[in-house]
A and B are shown apart, each in its own frame.
Chain A
Amino acid sequence: MDKNAVNELNEQRASIYWWFATLLTKELDQQQLSYYFSGEGLALLTQLEQEVLFKEPVLQIKSALVQMMAIKQPNLELAADFSELFLTDAKKGAPPYASVYLSESGQLFEKPHLQMLELFKSEGLMIDPNFKEPADHIAIQLDYLGNLIIKEAQQSSTAQTEFIQQQLLSWLPPFVNATKKVNNSGFYQGVCQLLLQFVEQDFNELSA
């Protein structure tokens, strides 16, 4: 592939990771949600749906969106789903922190958090102080990965594969499983399942 094609591809990969990061950073507001009812969001989902691997989670997301459209204040309903999964729950929900799944104690701010901090330190980065979350929050990891892809500007990179393998695939499967135990509209369960399949697919391509 020529250099431009590689750059374009990487920009797209990075954008997808940032898109996932955005979805998992905080609740969607009314405007953002509207993009998924009829705008670019729906277009993106429809495009992803074309890929056989992604079809099932995308259909789950779309079916949740159809439910939402019938509700008076859909963004609040979706916010309650988000809370139930990520904000108030520890065991039957799915706290979006690697430490909960990877540490023996099951506590927050364990080794995965410290590893991310070390990484940021070595690269001269820091977390936005307004986003007061541990460094092993899923959205921070995905945001970082997007940055790493752009920085590396190569199709395949050891840093990327290592990061995906060690920092993401190490805990995404139990995290995604945890989301499935919660019974609500299924929007975020679909997003998390899609994320896992995308990461796995990307990792396979990178390692090929």
Chain B
Amino acid sequence: MSISRRSFLKGLLASSGAALVGPGLLQVAHAATAEEAGKWKVSGSHWGAFRARVYAGKVQEIKPFNVDKYPTDMLNGIKGIIYSPSRIRYPMVRYEWYLNRDKSDTTKRGDNRFIRVTWDEAITLFHDELERMQTQYGPWALHAGSTGWRQTGQFHACGNHMARAIAMHGYSVNKVGDYSTGAGQTIMPYVLGTTEVYAQGSSWPVILKESKTIILWADDLVKNLQVGWNCETHESFEYLEQLKDKIAKKEIRVISIDPVVTKTQDYLDCEHQYINPQTDVPFMLAMAHTLYKEELYDKKFIDTYALGFEEFVPYLLGETKDKVEKTPEWASAICGIKADDIREFARLLVKQRTQIMVGWSIQRQQHGEQPYWMAAVLATMMGQIGLPGGGISYSHHYSSVGVSSTGAAGPGGFPRNPDKPDNRIHKNQDFNGYSSTIPVARWVDCILEPGKKIQANGATITLPDVKMMVFSGCNPWHHHQDRNNMKKAFHKLETVVSIDFTWTATCRFSDIVLPACTQWERNDLDLYGSYSARGVIAMHKLVDPLFQSKTDFEIFALLAGKFGQQQDYTRGKTEMQWVEELYNDCATANKAGFEMPDFNTFWKEGFVDFGKGEDWVRQADFREDPEINALGTPSGFIEIFSRKIDRYGYKECQGHPMWFEKSERSHGGPGSDKHPIWLQSCHPNKRLHSQMCDSQQFRETYTVKGREPIYLNAQDAQHRGIKSGDLVRVFNLRGQLLAGAVISKNYPTGVARIEEGAWYAPIDESIGSLDTYGDPNTLTQDIPTSELAQATSANTCQVEYEKFTGKVPAVTAFNGPNEVA
């Protein structure tokens, strides 16, 4: 080496050091604190309760908490969430927006160049934009109502914090419904009187004792019960284990009706009834036809408990407008089940005590109201509603439904609404002729077609001209349909604010991005065993908020501070004071039934267990006395025919359940000539929606060449020259994505699965660009189920796929925004 270090260093920085060298980053440490080998703390999550060993300011190890006897392997993904390089580390503002504000070039959204700002500047910008919306436009221009699966914890519930702070400032557009059960929760109150999807179901011990047949209708319990709305402790799995045993001993017959062999079917080793996708209604109608023709239905039950059968029967018999009799032969051509098998299945339903359990996927499709309604009609004809081990449920796959409720009260949450008296800064409630509440899945339509009038659940909605959106713990760039349509919509938005802990696609398409901490960087408490109300768990802060992240409480308190209402927002209380108060309120509410220790004892122990509840049979009280215990329907009875819906005069949801052809359908249905494969995008097996997709090591346990798997039928794949492990381009006229092929015997021809929640990773912000990771909503269509629910139709989606042969692009999903054209 010829260079002389001495020569080049000479004089360097000799005079200018002071100007070019900033202050040091190291200091002399205070008295060293004695480090233990680690401290075990307790916390919870949607994936389970756990203990964590914390050492040197870091979560080192996670072990299932002993209240959870059936922990999931998703606990292995938690450290990968906390320490993900996808964490949002600082408040960031989109560069182009920072320079030009509402005049920014919105086609650059998602491109993506950000700059770091201080918290104070970020909150000031956020507040300025809220002010601008309220003064320049009005409450109709601001939509801050979308929410998602918040991180767990009652106090820090992010939706509540956003709602309270925004409402203290002014009014804004809100939503009704959700993406999981939009059609179900809208139709069922007309039919059985509650949402059903969020209702406690008959207790498992009763079902295991009394049921002779269990029909799982598109219901994958083993997959979906892994996660829960509150801290999930997996009590249902004890009963699934017993069910498996009873199937082996031939004491109970379980039949899974599904195009796909589900995880539950594999686990239980139960029977399978294949059905063509989206054709559940013809199968149900034909079974109703059989029961009617063979006089196997329960006339007495219908007479006593239901209304409108006589208005429905003519449809069944082909005596109404369509002139089509709903015979098994008619259904067979659509649903792919032999006519005689349909008859046989119908006879089985009434042979012995039968419990029907319906999953949510069949209402996440066009006309999703119909299979739910028709299943209730079928169950009514069977006459077993309200009997132990009989009837119908729409929720046994969800959050410990079916585990007996203890009846204990869970801890309340941080208040969503401003306190009284109402001191909000902007009192203007004039929505300028627009509707103030919209069906949740129609917000993209608001942006693209403001002023358009749509029908929804008996009302006429005028879509507001939304200019600004705020998202907290909510990732619509995962859960909404049709990415390329969303890109168009986002070109029209002036300002988008996201509060999250990780760089979701929603954050990348935002203008102001605020770093929240994860739920493990704050103190909180939660109910465990959602529907069983099994106990209360402490959520000890494991580590301090990383980088510059803050709790939602701190973030929205800062915002409230900008308009002078911080004290009102926090009620002058700290995080721990709130947590203690929520605990004490819970203890007071439970005083009569459950003894709870004082807060300090609870906090130290980590949990309070309420034990097991009493067994219970859904709708038994209604069966006992339908007058006194009337259902919540307009008539108080089961409504096979709904006068109310009939009077709405809708085309795609009429007075009784009907079969409507879909806009896209496989197996000879519309669009299947060009795009023959039905793409189902059900809830994932190894994530909670899009949560945990950023947990790299855990993700790598299921990805294929770094991409989301697409599950394929062997014949379909072979026909296209595809083997397991190949990269596949999946496409239709709406979009294209890359996924990794997994060929599985569980998938019939014409069917493929990509689980929702796969992070959207487009090559660039341009419309139509290839998604490099495999988000199925790049391909799904953004159409409503019907005029009734206006809900998502994600499962009405046809695609084609081919072996990918081009230059393989890197996956862009799990980084911050850095795509530069």
Contacts and interface: CB of A to CB of B under 8 A. Distances in A.
Tell which of B10, B13, B80, B90 has the most Cβ of chain A within 10 Å.
Answer: B13
Tell which of B24, B80, B84 has the most Cβ of chain A within 10 Å.
Answer: B24
B3 interface: yes
B9 interface: yes
B95 A80 contact: yes
A93 B816 contact: yes
A107 B24 contact: no
Contacts of B95: 76, 79-80, 83
A133 B547 contact: yes
A50 B115 contact: no
B58 A16 contact: no
A12 B21 CA distance: 12
A18 interface: yes
B9 A9 contact: yes
A125 B26 CA distance: 6
Interface residues of B, number: 63
A41 B12 CA distance: 10
Nearest to B21: A18
Contact of A12 (B12, B79, B80): B12
Interface string A1-44: 00001000100110110110110011100001001000111011
A116 B99 CA distance: 39
Given A35-B20, A140-B26, A50 B8 contact: yes
A88 interface: yes
A202 to B, nearest CB: 7
Contact of B90 (A40, A87, A146): A87
A82 B25 CA distance: 19
Given A13-B9, A88-B816, A107-B696, A40 B56 contact: no
Interface string A172-208: 0000000000111000000000000000011011001
A16 B547 contact: no
Tell which of A9, A13, A105, A128 has the most Cβ of chain B within 10 Å.
Answer: A105
Interface string B521-548: 0000000000000000000000000111
B79 A107 contact: yes
A73 interface: yes
Contacts of A159: none
Nearest to A81: B113
Nearest to B22: A22
Tell which of B1, B17, B25, B114 has the most Cβ of chain A within 10 Å.
Answer: B25
Interface residues of A, number: 78
Given A89-B815, A107-B696, A117-B56, A16 B22 contact: no
Given A83-B116, A120-B29, A128-B26, A201 B3 contact: yes
B818 A76 contact: no
Interface string B108-127: 00001111100000000000
A61 interface: no
Nearest to B696: A106
Contacts of A153: none
Interface string A88-127: 1111110101001000111111100110010011001111
A146 to B, nearest CB: 8
A108 B8 contact: no
Contacts of B9: 9, 12-13, 16
Interface string B353-390: 00000000000000000000000000000000000000
B114 A87 contact: yes
A110 B30 CA distance: 24
Nearest to A139: B25
A126 to B, nearest CB: 4
A121 B10 CA distance: 34
A121 B15 contact: no
B812 interface: yes
B543 to A, nearest CB: 9
B120 to A, nearest CB: 14
A202 B5 CA distance: 8
Contact of A9 (B6, B20, B98, B113): B6
Contacts of B805: none
Interface in B778-821: 810-812, 814-820
B663 interface: no
B701 interface: no
Contacts of B459: none
Contact of B29 (A50, A125, A204): A125
A53 interface: yes
Q: Give the dominant DSSP class at B's interface.
A: loop
A18 to B, nearest CB: 5
A121 B29 contact: yes
Contact of A19 (B21, B56, B112, B812): B21
B136 interface: no
Contacts of B89: 87
A48 B9 CA distance: 9
A27 B116 contact: yes
A88 B818 contact: yes
Contacts of A201: 1, 3, 5
Nearest to A1: B6
Nearest to B58: A109
Tell which of A5, A40, A90, A127 has the most Cβ of chain B within 10 Å.
Answer: A90
A71 to B, nearest CB: 11
B1 A204 contact: yes
B600 interface: no
Interface string A157-169: 0000000000000
A42 to B, nearest CB: 10
B572 interface: no
Given A76-B98, A88-B817, A144-B26, A114 B58 contact: yes
B352 interface: no
B503 interface: yes
Contact of A95 (B22, B85, B116): B85
A108 B25 contact: no
B86 interface: yes
B421 interface: no
A84 interface: yes
Given A105-B80, A182-B820, A44 B27 contact: no
A133 to B, nearest CB: 7
A106 B5 CA distance: 36
B628 interface: no
A109 B116 contact: no
B721 interface: no
Nearest to B17: A15
Contacts of A182: 818, 820
A126 B32 CA distance: 10
A16 to B, nearest CB: 7
A47 interface: yes
B16 interface: yes
A101 B198 CA distance: 45
B554 to A, nearest CB: 14
Contacts of B98: 76
Contact of B92 (A87, A92, A128): A87
B113 A183 contact: no
Contact of A22 (B15, B20, B817): B20
B13 A124 contact: no
A92 B818 contact: yes
Nearest to B94: A80
Contacts of B14: 12
Interface string B264-278: 000000000000000
Contacts of B115: 27, 76, 79-80, 83
A136 interface: no
Lowest 6 A-B CB distances belong to which pairs? A88-B816, A40-B16, A90-B85, A126-B29, A90-B815, A22-B22
18 contacts: A13-B9, A16-B9, A35-B16, A40-B20, A47-B8, A90-B85, A90-B86, A91-B810, A91-B811, A93-B816, A100-B85, A107-B696, A117-B56, A121-B29, A132-B548, A201-B3, A202-B5, A205-B1
Given A39-B19, A128-B25, 12 more contacts: A76-B98, A80-B114, A83-B113, A90-B84, A90-B814, A91-B815, A107-B83, A114-B56, A121-B32, A127-B26, A184-B820, A208-B1
